[in-house]
Chains A and B, each alone.
Chain A
């Protein structure tokens, strides 16, 4: 008896406490760096807790070259991506590729040293690539056969198959020193990049210090402290004025915080859902979405701008593909919202509305169960909005939150809200290209021979610039393409939002890929505080 009252009392206390959170928030957040040492060359940045690299700063275990790609900061890379996602050089001084696409020859700078004083040579580059090929569990390096240093400053990549977009891979693999690499490299990374790891308090913060011997442009920001916090803690830290830049979500965007501005960075961090394109059988496929009329109708019948206004408070851009705004995106595949046309499509295909407003065809109800990752409130809201809009089309949609343990399997037969977006066309390939074992694409059953062939040609193509056109043709060549088949409906690109101290000048950002984390600090060395 007593126990129950105690429990009840605790809960009551809890609710009242949280109820007056507004007054409490200023006092109960003690950031790791309370002393406001905002001298002009050090910056405190808040990222989400999932951004902390679990296995440390080792490229073989996903640092920079993982699920979320970004510049590795501590290490140098051979190439870099420019603001418009073209390729430029970092360590490399010249890149050439053989006519058959199987041999890449890269010449590198001769004036680069690791922070332990050793010279960076082609040997280190070859070692790095052979290591990531062996070790990497997060990124695919099967296209590489082996890397070989032919002299001190020339490295050759022998490919297993032609891979024209290799320079995009070179932009994310940080070069590690062959003499100082071991199992604990992730904890004590030595590189030749802009920053050195000074301190890492696991679960809390990472402190980076500028590399005094860096070979590139002058580093303006000498010290970078990165603190990992949950969204609500990050916002509390901003309200308390403890940090210089903090990530935030659209749900906080209507707030104002004195001394801070909301920074909006465009992204290719898209959200969309798959529509299984084959009839159901053997646990995969879906009888409703296998009808192309249904898929097309959904694609043009969803008002993306309304979705952005409703769910993202306007902070997003409509998405038409997995690679919007990238050099390999085919702009002809953008669709206009056309409700009438969508209804016409459905009716012409025999989907007739019943008394309850739900369409059906030959006794089959237009019913969809839309999945979303259970811990992602933005995707939940997108699913709800998509469900509301599809209901207007006469398609009944139920929603279900699922864990990642079952999501991949269930998405083979049911639509699911996904998030993608990377700085390489390989992602487009991974989503739409068929797998040899099944003859279907990996994440949602679908196949198109013509598109497959364009993608294969694009990878085999000698020149990167020429391959862009082939990637575009895979999307739409005037006759067919992935955009015509609509195995995926792309909804929005989510703007990455940050609270930024008013006097902090954040350097121009390239379009952010999927992952609201390290991308923002790609060029932190060029940030500055206004005096």
Chain B
């Protein structure tokens, strides 16, 4: 509608991204503090010194939460990017390479979507020896399908569009058609899909770690923190679950927000709003 709204969206987007970036930095700086145990200060409720309190081994929960979120975000960024690239490649191959490839990739997508997400994730992570490697491979293998399907549909549609047909008739090579004519059109879809994969990846990382199939317990990870906190809720240590839980939700919402802002800014349908 007016430029003001667009500017507004852009500013918010920058702000949200900066905030997430800040968490990564803080988490990096807190890495050593997060591992440090000091039994003198165990089970302290939130205070000025330890804003998120301390746990049963006297670890600073703020440092642990920040380090955990930072790791989650980095893991999320990494896995989401790779997943999106896989999705992009498979999606376009399915659409461009003819019937057989399409049928095969369609079958693969259906197969992977047919198995419950978390189950597959647990299996893969466990088979890869858990830890960071298990989580990364697990998330990579389970998050590309939906986006691949969207890209495939989009490419199929583009193939039929007038300007692509015209380019083909004019003798433009297939590679050129993809890179020059199709790619720019796909970027908004791709970017939005990519960013919307982050929260998914982060939640699943926390999920399988919570269930004990992900990162090891000495790592400061949100899943570890939340599963440990269960034991201490009954004894009144509410801060062990609440702050890390809320922080995780906040990060996920921020990513989601960034995703929708990006779409608004990039998607031709809403770009002039």
Contacts and interface: CB of A to CB of B under 8 A. Distances in A.
Contact of B249 (A12, A19, A25, A387): A12
A401 B218 CA distance: 7
B53 to A, nearest CB: 13
Contacts of B216: 374, 400-402
Nearest to A387: B37
A16 to B, nearest CB: 8
A388 to B, nearest CB: 6
B28 interface: no
Contacts of A38: none
A19 B241 contact: yes
B228 A377 contact: yes
A460 interface: no
Contacts of B111: none
B260 A381 contact: no
A15 B199 contact: no
A158 interface: no
Interface footprint category on B: 35 or more
A4 B234 contact: no
Given A1-B256, A8-B199, A19-B241, A251 B232 contact: yes
Interface in A339-396: 374-375, 377, 380-381, 384-385, 387-388
Nearest to A307: B39
B234 A21 contact: yes
Interface residues of A, number: 41
Nearest to B231: A232
Interface string B8-36: 00000000000000000000000000000
Interface-centre pick from A7, A25, A239, A399 (highest chain B CB count, 10 A): A7
Contacts of B218: 380, 399-401
Nearest to A380: B217
A1 B241 contact: no
Nearest to B59: A384
B39 A311 contact: yes
A141 to B, nearest CB: 35
B252 A4 contact: yes
Nearest to A11: B249
A86 interface: no
Interface in B78-102: none
Contacts of A1: 196, 256, 259-260
B231 A19 contact: no
B199 A4 contact: yes
Nearest to B219: A401
B256 A5 contact: yes
Contacts of B38: 388
B242 interface: yes
Interface in B164-223: 196, 199-200, 203, 212, 216-218
Given A12-B246, A235-B234, A401-B217, A18 B241 contact: yes
Contacts of A401: 216-218
Contacts of A16: 242
Contact of B231 (A231, A239, A311, A399): A231
23 contacts: A1-B259, A4-B199, A7-B203, A7-B252, A8-B252, A15-B241, A15-B242, A15-B245, A18-B229, A18-B241, A21-B234, A22-B236, A251-B56, A251-B232, A252-B234, A254-B235, A310-B39, A310-B42, A311-B39, A377-B217, A384-B37, A399-B218, A402-B216
Given A8-B252, A16-B242, A385-B39, 17 more contacts: A11-B245, A11-B249, A15-B242, A18-B233, A19-B241, A20-B238, A22-B234, A22-B238, A251-B235, A252-B234, A254-B235, A310-B42, A377-B217, A380-B57, A387-B37, A401-B217, A401-B218
Interface of A: 1, 4-5, 7-8, 11-12, 14-16, 18-22, 25, 231-232, 235-236, 239, 251-252, 254-255, 310-311, 374-375, 377, 380-381, 384-385, 387-388, 399-403
